[in-house]
Each structure stands twice: as C-alpha cells, then as structure tokens.
Chains A and B, each alone.
Chain A
Amino acid sequence: MSTVLAAPRTWRRREGLRALVWLSPWLVGFAVFFLYPLAATVYFSFHRYDLFTLEFVGLDNYRYFLTDERAFVSIGNTLWLVVFMVPAQVLFALGLAQLVTRLKAGAGLFRTIFYLPSLIPTVAGTVAFVFLLNPATGPVNQLLELIGVTGPDWFGDRDWSKPSLTLLGMWGVGNTMVIFLAALLDVPRHLYEAAALDGAGAWRQFRSITLPTISPVLVFSAVTGVIYALQYFTQAMIAARVASGATDSPGSSFTPGYPEMSTLTLPQWLFHAGFRDFSMGYACVLALLLFAASMAFTLILLRRFRAFDREVS
C-alpha cells in the first residue's frame, strides 16, 4: 500500500521538471513575444524613436495624444464597430442558427452555405465587396435600381462606409453561427416539450429556456467579437485602399481612412504612426491604449475559463 502511495509523489516531483522541459519553447516565446515587448512598449512610450535615434521625452508622447484629432477619430470608429458591428454579427449569427435548427429539409446544406463565406480570405472578400457595392457598375445598386431604390455610395460615403463594413462582417458570420448551432442543439429537448405543454409561446420558450442555456456561449462569442473588433484592421484598410484607388506600393504615402477618415480604426492609426511616419514612441502610446481595452475584455474571458477548469479537473 505504501509503495502505491509513494509512487505518485515521486512522479509529481519529477512532473514539475518534465513540464518545464515540455513547456520551454512556449515559455521562451511568451517571454520574447509577450513580456519583453510589453515592457519595451512602456519604455518606448516615454521616448522619441524613429529606428535611428532614441531620445527620452518624458510625457511628450502622451501630451501629443491629447491633441491628436485623428487618434480620437480612430478611437471613435473602433468604438462604433464595437457598439454596432459586434451586436449585429452576434444577433445575426444567432438568428441564422435558430433558423437552421427549424429547417426540416436541407438543414445541412443551408449550414454549409451560411458557413462558407466566413472562410473566404479577408482581402479577397473585402475587394469583392468594394466591387459589389461600387456605385457605378456594382451589382447591388443595379439590383436596387430594379426595385426603384437609388443605392448609396457605400464605401465612398463617410456615412455608409462603416455600415458597408458591417455588411461584410455579417456575410462572414458563419463561424459564430456554427458555434451557436452546436449550443442550440445541446439544449435538452424535453424542456421545450414541457414548456409547450404549459402553454409557453415561442418567445417565452426562447427567453426562459434557450437564452439561459446558451448564455455562456453567447457571452464567449460577444467578448471574443469585441476583442476582434478592437483589432479591426485589414478590412477597413483594404476597403479604403481599393475604394479610393490608392496604391499599396512601397514608398507611397497612403493615408488610411478613406473616405474622410470614416474607416480609420485605432490599430490602423497605430500602424501608420509607427511604420509609415516612424513615430514609434507615439505608436507605443496608442498600443498601450489598445492593450488596456483588450485586456479588460480578456479578463471577462479568463473568469469564464476558471469556471470551466473547475468543471473538468
């Protein structure tokens, strides 16, 4: 008996060492690509740095931030995406998933069709949407014309550019839909049957049974959606480039955000400040802001994972 008890203890002591060996590549990666850069970002934010000269400037970069109108425009645009695009995507994905669960014929086919666009490469999808929505020859405005509606200028109009990006986002919502679909199919059927016997209508069933059961998945998708919206970069940049006709060739000084800074997001402005203007110290101020925002939402996720861990182990 005693040997059986002793064995796990020696295993456990050695297990710490073994874990260290197995995790070592990742630990190096975490130090080099997370801990060090974060510390360096804080350090650079107090300096003026253009790849060649490094000069301590105290709080100058932070003071400049307060006067940088474009930084505030970009923060406003990123918040717009968080407030409008993310809920639109989550609700649309939930609606699609609900619809697929109710289909008696072809549910698998429809799931495939709704999922497919989410795989389309981001650049290709965005270029395609700029074409589809272009006011001169775009099919969408042609079709709107048929029913007597004059379509807007979409990516060329400052008021329509972010809604256009939202449409693009809703087209690629398949990932979230598949996650919701799995969650909806996990809801025990007998709950609905019991509720129906008690005379609960469709809305009542959704509110009292579906929503509470799938709410963890809903929260997970909403939080990751917000974190991705904070990083929103490629679609906005491509849409602005293609719609404005600007080139991406080396050395060109294309200012993102076409039209009229309406698609300029915080990560784009950070990228522009750091790697096009080479104000790397200032870019680090913007980076810290982005870090604070995404960390706040990551903490919500971490709390959920702790709960999940307790269930498993």
Chain B
Amino acid sequence: MSTALATRPQAPASRPRGRTARSVRGRRILYWIATHALAVALAIMFIGPLVFIALTALMTDQQALTSQLWPRSWNWGNFAEIFERSPLLLWIGNTMLYAVLGTVFMLLSSIPVAYALARFRFPGRRAAFLAVIAMMMLPPQVVAVPVYLIWARAELTGTLWPLILPMLLGDAFSIFLLRQFLLTIPKDYTDAARVDGCSDFTTLVRVVLPMARPAIAAVALFQFFYCWNDYYGPLLYASTNLDNWTLSIGLASFKALHSVQWNLTMAATLLVMAPVIIVFFLAQRVFIEGVTLTGVKG
C-alpha cells in the first residue's frame, strides 16, 4: 500500500518522459526520508523517558537536586541502597505470590470455561457469553463495597487473598480471549477425537490445549503482568497491613515514605519496570499476537 501511495504518476503528459520519472523518484525519496525521520523522532520521544529514568537512577543524592541531566559519577550503589532503605524483598515476594498464584488459578479455572463456551451447544450459551463480556467491562469500583464486605466477613482483608482466591472462579477477560481463539480451531479436530472415544476432558488436554498454546501463553502473560502492575486491588485490601504491601503500593509511596531524592525513586521505578521489559523481549511474539487477538477478532 505504501508504494501505491508513494507513486502517483499524475504529471501532465506533455512533459518529457525522463523528467517525470526523475521527479517521481525524487518524490519517492523525499517521502522515504519524511516518514522515517518522523518515525525516528517519535521513537526518541517514546524511549526518552526510559533513558532519563536510568540516568537519574545513577546520580548521587546531591546531583539529583540539581537540574543536570547527565550523571557526573555512576552510582550503582543506589540500587543496593533502595534495598536497605525499604523492604523491597518483602514487596517483591508479595507481588510474586499474587502474580504466580493468580496466574495459575486463572489458567486452571478459565480454560475449561472458555472451552465449554466455544464448543458445547446448550441453551443459554449466548447469555453465558454476554455475561462474560458484562463482567469483563464492569469497573471494579462498582461492586467494591459489597465485595469488600464479603472478604471482611471472611476476615481476609489486610491480605492479598481477596485478589488471589477469586481467580479460582475464572477471569472474564481471559475466558473471553481464550474463547475467541478456541472458536478458530476447526471443529473437525474435536469431532475426530470424540469419534475415537475421547472424553471431553481428554479432548481438551490432548487435542485442544496443544493447539491453543499461543493463546494460553498470551493470557498467562497478560494475567501475570496485570497482577504485577495492579495498584487498585492491593490498595483496597492490603495497604492497611505493611507486611502485605506489593511493589506497586510500595513504589507509590516510596518517595514520601522514605523521604528520598528522585535518584533513589527512579532506581526503584527502574527495578519495577525491569522484569516486564526483560520478559517482553524474551516473548515479544506472544504479546503482539495476544494483543492482536483481543482487537481484531472482536
């Protein structure tokens, strides 16, 4: 499509042929330069924030108070210092507990539901799917009060369990995404398995799961990062108990609570970002395919 846009041979016919060809080529080169220059400029703006975070994270306390942008000395010790100043390891442990258990529970509960929604024919199938969408789109704050009271009655407020345990009952977004993917698997495969005498369960495990691996990887990654990034949930349930703080709760009050300068705050920020960035570069395809699945098939 780009070539179609770049070459519009609309010069008047009276002009000599050679000149037209040259001007078309000239215009094409100009177009190439313009689009790539714009892309580079935008890329610098997208990367810029990360560069400045990293530079500031390595400054000394004194320099962080100035308006200089380039660190005078490289203070790698800042990263050690944030571990001394705050219970970062505890926060990391809590965040991992939430993210790992949340992801495992979500997979165990959501895959069968998505499979049933995509494959079984039963009355109320459409209504069940609409319920998934409705729950996916429900702002969490709408039902916050009664749900909080459920967990208060179970005496689990102050912990992360109110965020982890519901994952055993399925996550709407993951069910939705898996179901959209499972619909694209031709029915012939599951029918063949049934003819061979497989039960629903063996069909799911032996036939469907291997084919759905990309979608499962995508929802697992999305869920993991959702938990890793979640601020609202831990704020509601765990912020009253310092022992159960997660990284996002800790980082949100890092600067004020530890009365530190921007350099240490940025070091902590970088530390929270790093795992996400690393995993992204290891599994880039999974992300891009997963995101595409959420939008286009919808």
Contact = CB atoms under 8 A, between A and B. Distances in A.
A and B are interacting partners: yes
Interface of A: 12, 15-16, 18-20, 22-23, 25-26, 28-30, 32-34, 36-38, 40-41, 44, 51, 96, 99-106, 110-117, 119-124, 127-129, 131-132, 134, 136-137, 139, 142, 171, 175-176, 178-180, 182-183, 186-187, 189, 192-193, 195-196, 199, 201-202, 205, 217, 220-221, 224, 227, 230-231, 233-234, 237-238, 241-242, 245-250, 267, 270-271, 274-275, 280, 283-284, 287-288, 290-291, 294-295, 297-298, 301-302, 304-306, 308-309, 312-313
Interface in B126-170: 126, 128-135, 137-150, 152, 166, 168-170
Given A270-B141, A308-B298, A37 B109 contact: no
B282 interface: no
B115 interface: yes
User: Does more than half of chain A's interface fall in helix, strand or loop, or is it mixed?
Assistant: helix
A24 to B, nearest CB: 9
Given A33-B166, A113-B47, A127-B269, A241 B125 contact: no
A33, A182, A205, A305 pick with most chain B CB within 10 angstroms = A33
Nearest to A298: B137
10 contacts: A26-B113, A33-B166, A41-B142, A102-B5, A103-B2, A131-B53, A142-B69, A220-B298, A248-B257, A275-B144
Interface of B: 1-2, 4-5, 7-8, 10, 32, 35-36, 38-39, 42-43, 46-50, 52-53, 56, 64-67, 69, 109-110, 112-113, 115-117, 120-123, 125-126, 128-135, 137-150, 152, 166, 168-170, 175, 183, 200, 225, 228-229, 231-232, 236, 239-242, 247-249, 251-257, 262, 265-266, 269, 272-273, 276-277, 280, 284, 287-288, 291-292, 294-298
Contacts of B110: 26
Nearest to B150: A32
Q: Which 6 A-B pairs have the closest CB atoms?
A: A29-B169, A179-B295, A248-B253, A37-B143, A40-B146, A22-B116
Contact of B144 (A131, A217, A287): A287
B231 A234 contact: yes
Given A132-B52, A267-B141, A22 B113 contact: yes
Given A23-B116, A103-B39, A128 B53 contact: yes
B139 A267 contact: yes
Contacts of B298: 217, 220, 301, 304-305, 308
B291 A179 contact: yes
Given A234-B232, A241-B253, A290-B141, A193 B276 contact: no
B24 to A, nearest CB: 13
A189 B1 contact: yes
Contacts of B276: 119-121
B116 to A, nearest CB: 4
A291 B272 CA distance: 32
B169 A33 contact: yes
A193 to B, nearest CB: 5
Given A179-B294, A267-B139, A274 B248 contact: no
A18 B201 CA distance: 11
Contacts of B132: 26
Contacts of B256: 241-242, 245-248
Given A175-B291, A196-B5, A301-B137, 4 more contacts: A12-B121, A32-B169, A199-B8, A275-B144
B263 to A, nearest CB: 10
Contacts of A19: 116, 120, 122, 125
A183 B53 CA distance: 34
B251 A16 contact: no
Which of B35, B46, B139, B269 has the most C-beta atoms of chain A within 10 angstroms of its own C-beta?
A: B139
Contact of B168 (A25, A102, A124, A189): A25
B239 A250 contact: yes
Given A117-B49, A179-B292, A234-B231, A124 B121 contact: no
Contact of A22 (B183, B200, B229, B242): B200
Contacts of A249: 253, 257
Nearest to B132: A26
Contacts of B65: 137
A195 B140 CA distance: 47
A124 B251 contact: yes
B231 A122 contact: yes
B56 to A, nearest CB: 7
